[in-house]
Structure 1
């Protein structure tokens, strides 16, 4: 089955959001409306009918699809995803740097980078597209929703691959700050290595026996009574690596809702952000060869 969209979008970007799409799999449906109801049970029938009536559902060739339009395997349907009553995130990003290739942003806590789940308009990517008009923006590395700090985007498709490959080769230095319990029993700086795997519980990671696939350099930047401000330098880039490594050392990052124990899902407490900050990133620009250094203006 095809999984990639056509090179050109049959619906325009709207309010900073590119249209979503789905390929029709093997199966039988009477029409487009029955297929959409079947595959998106959380979206009401009235919502789909309204989108169809507004001609906001098309195929990969841009042909408008009506409720009774036929569907068959191999078709690609485009539509605009919408979220009703999306929770606003009361924190704002700041642009640190922009050239013809890159956009560098200071991301706030709680703001997701890309649309997913219950977040659409309240995401860094959509906000930036709307505020800058750069419709080709693409994040070139990851940052958890709960984490604040330096985030890099490409907005030039012709050079994007060179920056993405730089991250894939790990040819850059990233430094994070974190607040956690002081560990008087350990000698710093130290190197923490472990084998990380997906845990049985949704979304979290765990350390298991076996050859290490994750590595973090940990040092203390400042003592704060019972706590310390730690400097973390990830050598590898596993999901939740810094959060899991600090928890494994016996010092879970302050306000971490996933480690050492994943807490029940609840509304965000904006007064208690995760005390983890992507403080800086440094690399040799793959196009100009110049040394690049970007630092967050935020502090913990």
Structure 2
């Protein structure tokens, strides 16, 4: 079962409110009917609920033919349906479209908004919001930002050229610049400098840690402005490890302001919209692989 279809397969149900239909491959089992299987497979959904969905034409097979309460169970059959979503707490910040052409959509993401459906977030995600508002069913992010991070992110909405643009990130042929607010880094340093470390998964699955060994992450650190006991930093990652900038700054003794994960992962107490993580994806620069033009996209947001 998945939140959305594979990129190149036929999807018999349309996107609804920006959310793609889910699908399920039936197992190698015996059941008196498909309805009986669904009731057992999803105990939170009642038989009457499934009957109502079927009556509305919201459960179909792989060819798009409606499923009814009398449809027999067939091994390895694929069915499509809409998952009923619980109410989500609105995230009170709006994304901004910076640019759109026949291939790409460039967006300025706010803090707290997840990129894609995951966990408790579905409709309140950047991808679903954009699909719903712009009517772009083939929209796919070319890269991602942490939920807590704001700034520039690139989407593809053209299947024919998506791979070409994705290869830029695979080859690291673009320049990404971030800004962050944090305390002065302890000790005397000449700026800019390059920090390297070996990053690996921590025991807590959602964070990273450093260990001794060959470095696999690299960040150029510079100071843009000194603001008393806080500096505005320019961070340029030359690798793309999960939480790289957050871990590197914490390891340097200057964790990014309002970071709930580094240097210590704090117990989750819900979002505090008054105190976002002070990390911003300021700009992305790359040579367009189709036109050869140099392109730069810059966030309009500020850190305060």
Is the TM value for this pair above 0.5? yes
Measure, in 2, the Cα distance between the counterparts of 1:63 and 1:127.
Answer: 29
Measure, in 1, the Cα distance between the counterparts of 2:6 and 2:19.
Answer: 18
1:145 aligns with 2:147: yes
Tell me the equivalent position of 1:244: 247
TM-score (norm 2): 0.91
Measure, in 1, the Cα distance between the counterparts of 2:77 and 2:8.
Answer: 11
Tell me the equivalent position of 1:44: 45
When residues 208 and 50 of structure 1 are mapped into structure 2, their CA distance, relative to the original with a 3 A threshold, is: farther
State how 1:43-192 maps to structure 2 within 5 Å: 43-45=44-46, 47-67=49-69, 69-187=71-189, 188-192=191-195
- 3-state SS, counterpart of residue 203 of structure 2: coil
Shift of 1:125: 1.1
Indicate conservation of the 8 Å contact 1:83/1:119, yes or no: no
Indicate conservation of the 8 Å contact 2:186/2:253, yes or no: no
When residues 82 and 184 of structure 1 are mapped into structure 2, their CA distance, relative to the original with a 3 A threshold, is: same
- 3-state SS, counterpart of residue 281 of structure 2: strand
Indicate conservation of the 8 Å contact 2:108/2:299, yes or no: yes
1:22 aligns with 2:19: no
Measure, in 2, the Cα distance between the counterparts of 1:33 and 1:264.
Answer: 42
TM-score (norm 1): 0.92
Shift of 1:88: 0.4
Measure, in 1, the Cα distance between the counterparts of 2:238 and 2:130.
Answer: 29
Tell me the equivalent position of 2:237: 234
When residues 85 and 248 of structure 1 are mapped into structure 2, their CA distance, relative to the original with a 3 A threshold, is: same
Indicate conservation of the 8 Å contact 2:176/2:284, yes or no: yes
1:264 aligns with 2:267: yes
Tell me the equivalent position of 1:253: 256
Gaps of 5+ in 1: none
Measure, in 1, the Cα distance between the counterparts of 2:202 and 2:31.
Answer: 37
Indicate conservation of the 8 Å contact 1:5/1:21, yes or no: no
Measure, in 2, the Cα distance between the counterparts of 1:68 and 1:247.
Answer: 59
Give CA-to-partner distance per residue, 1:135-156, whole Å, 9 cap, x none: 2211100111111000111111
Measure, in 2, the Cα distance between the counterparts of 1:239 and 1:152.
Answer: 17
Indicate conservation of the 8 Å contact 1:111/1:123, yes or no: yes
Give CA-to-partner distance per residue, 1:8-54, whole Å, 9 cap, x none: 1011111122112222344455543454455545x433654543343
Give CA-to-partner distance per residue, 1:197-231, whole Å, 9 cap, x none: 11121311111222211111111111122111111
Measure, in 1, the Cα distance between the counterparts of 2:135 and 2:98.
Answer: 17
Indicate conservation of the 8 Å contact 2:177/2:234, yes or no: yes
Measure, in 1, the Cα distance between the counterparts of 2:32 and 2:209.
Answer: 46
Give CA-to-partner distance per residue, 1:169-193, whole Å, 9 cap, x none: 0000000001111114141322111
- 3-state SS, counterpart of residue 160 of structure 2: coil
Indicate conservation of the 8 Å contact 1:6/1:60, yes or no: no
- 3-state SS, counterpart of residue 126 of structure 1: helix
